[in-house]
Structure 1
Amino acid sequence: MIAEEKMRAVVARGYGGPEVLGLVTVPLPEPGPGQVRIRVEAATVNPVDLATRSGTLVEAGLMAGREHTGIGWDAAGVVDRLGAGVTAFAPGQRVVGLRDLLDVSLGAYAEHLVLDAAAVAPAPPGASAAAAATLPLNGLTALQALDLLDLGAGDTLLVTGATGAVGAFAVELAVRRGLRVVAQADVTGDAFVRGLGAESVVGRDATDLAADVRHLVPGGIDGALDTAGLGIHALAAVRTKGAFATVVGGSAPVPLRGIRVHQQWISADGDALAELAAMDLTLRVAEVLPLERAAEAHQRLAAGGIRGRLVLVP
């Protein structure tokens, strides 16, 4: 009799503080038709992981409660098994992928992860596994929000929280689209966002964000990508009949003055992820921690002040 293969994973036992996270040993998952199994080399710690663990997403009706919940959306690693019908990838290939299902028993905080092939892309060339793992969720979030705004080259864009993971990708991608970016950042982040291509910077602690932006762009900017959840405070900087997108759930303001307001919800997209991976974007790793220190990583992310992402390695 062949012994069942096992792997380690971090799950949330119920919901609450970081203490509900724990390592478990579970059967090695098998890919079904159209799926790939990835031997995970790195998994990113994101704010949505904290919201999942704490039960916030259950309370918001975004996922059903369960006894054990898988944690982690982003993964980078190596393909080690293919499901039936998968021809786009090969065993041994380095990849990145995004899990966009909330209510699952296993997430990316694991030694192996099974994903639909359509949610996977070749890893960024030359990037470490830790750096590559920071791309899927945050990069796709920024890309999809910019698509919703549908601005054209030469238009002006405000990015709030521009030094954050999503905000920084948004600045970089917007500049590549020919947009003129006004970035919201503190003094320590000024040089960083300008290095990404931001044309102007407004202070993160400004008492009147809209007034500061309108001083730079009289009449208001063409669009705003709100990664900081500022809502109406960022909307006030947008011109009449402009565009506004937020990536923070529940922070979309009323569409005043004919402004197109969008709430961006992430969806896995392997083709778009492959395009991002080929762009040589700025990938930021704050620190790499072993998988068993997941609770510590959650505590540190919640405390704030981290530039880049904490990354877990099995």
Structure 2
Amino acid sequence: MRVMRTTLVRRFGGPEVLEIATVADPEPGPGQVRVRVAGAAVNKIDISTRNGALAQAGLLAPAPQTYLGWDVSGQVDALGPGASRFTSGDAVVGLRDVLSAGGTQADYVVLDESAVAPAPTTVSLVEAAALPLMALTADRSLRLAGLHRGQTVLVTGAGGGVGGVVLQLAALRGIRTIAVADDERLVRDLGATDFVPRKVFSPAAVRRLAPGGVDAVIDAAVVGVPAHEALRGGGTFVALVAPFAPPPLRATTVIVQEVFADGGRLAELAALVDAGRITLRIQETLPLADIAVAHELTAKGGLRGKLVLSPGLLP
């Protein structure tokens, strides 16, 4: 029996509860592929998984252990019965479904082939791990906002991973963006039309740029009610975290964005990376053994890009 390393927690708490355990290699079932992991990004949802916030919110089923990691890059290693979209050795990216048995911060992971897409070729395979969760979240958030060319969206957390991709996708679609962030140069480079410094953010500051209010808000920074107050009557508010979604007031629509594994759309987003339309920002690549360090740095904040864990199995 072949074994591999995987990251997990058996109880909730700080970084000290993180474990790297040895388990049997997963076998792909019907319509699945096994991926030898090149990189697995560390996201804020990993922190919420580890510290029990997801479980407390009822978003994590009780289990003796909880595996970590959502998005992944690597090479297809084995095919399950009926899997035909990929061949062994293909470079891919993918997103784990919430019901998947194992996490991506491991040596190998099994995914439905519908959750997998060809990896972008203009960045390293390890760096490509930053794409799936971030880009699919940004893309779906912008689609749910329901905007047309020329309309305006307020993006909080615009300097972060999701917010930055929202800016780039909005620019492609001719949508005006008002970015709330710390670094004006960064968000302008990502395509922001207008800028409000995070430290002086207020609904009034936004309404000076968009009299009457913005058409939509994508609340990547989980600002909540103050961001909603910058929205026009009848506008759309897209929340990324359900417990912090504001109530719909003034005939607004409040939508909680829930990302899901979509290999078809992920392939289109990977193509935008290769076309230079989406920029992947990587802070640092760390070995799998440094998962606790990655959690500490992510929780501290202030990163200029993603942290990516790499098991180091690929040549």
| Same fold by TM-score greater than 0.5 | yes
- Counterpart selection for 1:46 from 25, 34, 43: 43
| Counterpart secondary structure, 1:256 | coil
**Deviation string, structure 1 residues 217-236 (Cα, Å, up to 9, x no partner):** 11111111000111111111
**Deviation string, structure 1 residues 62-102 (Cα, Å, up to 9, x no partner):** 11222221100010000011111111111111000001316
- Counterpart selection for 1:17 from 14, 19, 22: 14
**Paired residues of 1:235 and 1:244 also in contact (CA < 8 A):** yes
**1:127 and 2:120 matched:** no
**Paired residues of 1:162 and 1:168 also in contact (CA < 8 A):** yes
Unmatched tracts of structure 2, length 5 or more: none
1:291 is aligned to 288
**Deviation string, structure 1 residues 1-24 (Cα, Å, up to 9, x no partner):** xxx011111111221111111111
Q: Measure the CA separation in 1 of the matches of 2:97 and 2:283.
A: 23
**Paired residues of 1:228 and 1:248 also in contact (CA < 8 A):** no
- How far did residue 130 of structure 1 move? 2.6
- Counterpart selection for 1:64 from 61, 72, 78: 61
**Paired residues of 1:291 and 1:312 also in contact (CA < 8 A):** yes
- How far did residue 129 of structure 1 move? 2.0
Q: Considering only aligned residues, what root-mean-square deviation do their CA atoms show, in Å?
A: 1.1
- Counterpart selection for 1:172 from 168, 172, 188: 168
Structure 1 moving runs of 4+ over 6 Å = none
Q: Measure the CA separation in 1 of the matches of 2:126 and 2:184.
A: 25
**1:191 and 2:191 matched:** no
- Counterpart selection for 2:32 from 35, 43, 47: 35
1:87 is aligned to 84
Name the aligned partner's letter for residue 196 of structure 1: L
1:309 is aligned to 306
**Paired residues of 1:14 and 1:66 also in contact (CA < 8 A):** no
Name the aligned partner's letter for residue 145 of structure 2: L
**Paired residues of 1:64 and 1:103 also in contact (CA < 8 A):** no
**1:205 and 2:202 matched:** no
Larger mean Cα displacement after TM superposition, 251-260 or 35-44? 251-260
Larger mean Cα displacement after TM superposition, 41-50 or 54-63? 54-63
| Counterpart secondary structure, 1:211 | helix
| Counterpart secondary structure, 1:258 | coil
**Paired residues of 2:67 and 2:103 also in contact (CA < 8 A):** yes
Unmatched tracts of structure 1, length 5 or more: none
**Paired residues of 2:100 and 2:111 also in contact (CA < 8 A):** no
Q: Measure the CA separation in 2 of the matches of 1:222 and 1:130.
A: 37
Q: Measure the CA separation in 1 of the matches of 2:177 and 2:99.
A: 33
2:249 is aligned to 256
Name the aligned partner's letter for residue 230 of structure 1: V
Name the aligned partner's letter for residue 31 of structure 2: G
Name the aligned partner's letter for residue 51 of structure 2: S
Q: Measure the CA separation in 1 of the matches of 2:131 and 2:155.
A: 18
Q: With structure 1 as the length reference, what TM-score do the two structures score?
A: 0.95
1:153 is aligned to 149
2:71 is aligned to 74
**Paired residues of 1:75 and 1:108 also in contact (CA < 8 A):** yes
Name the aligned partner's letter for residue 163 of structure 2: G
**Paired residues of 2:154 and 2:178 also in contact (CA < 8 A):** yes
| Counterpart secondary structure, 2:130 | coil
**Paired residues of 1:69 and 1:103 also in contact (CA < 8 A):** no
**Deviation string, structure 1 residues 129-176 (Cα, Å, up to 9, x no partner):** 232101100110011111111100110111000001111011111111
**Paired residues of 2:138 and 2:166 also in contact (CA < 8 A):** yes
- How far did residue 209 of structure 1 move? 1.8
1:270 is aligned to 263
Q: With structure 2 as the length reference, what TM-score do the two structures score?
A: 0.95
Q: How many residue pairs end up in the alignment?
A: 307
- Counterpart selection for 1:26 from 15, 23, 31: 23
**Paired residues of 2:74 and 2:126 also in contact (CA < 8 A):** no
2:231 is aligned to 238
**Paired residues of 1:63 and 1:103 also in contact (CA < 8 A):** no
Name the aligned partner's letter for residue 103 of structure 2: G
**Deviation string, structure 1 residues 282-307 (Cα, Å, up to 9, x no partner):** 10111111001101110111111112
**Paired residues of 1:100 and 1:266 also in contact (CA < 8 A):** no
**Paired residues of 1:182 and 1:199 also in contact (CA < 8 A):** yes
**Paired residues of 1:96 and 1:133 also in contact (CA < 8 A):** yes
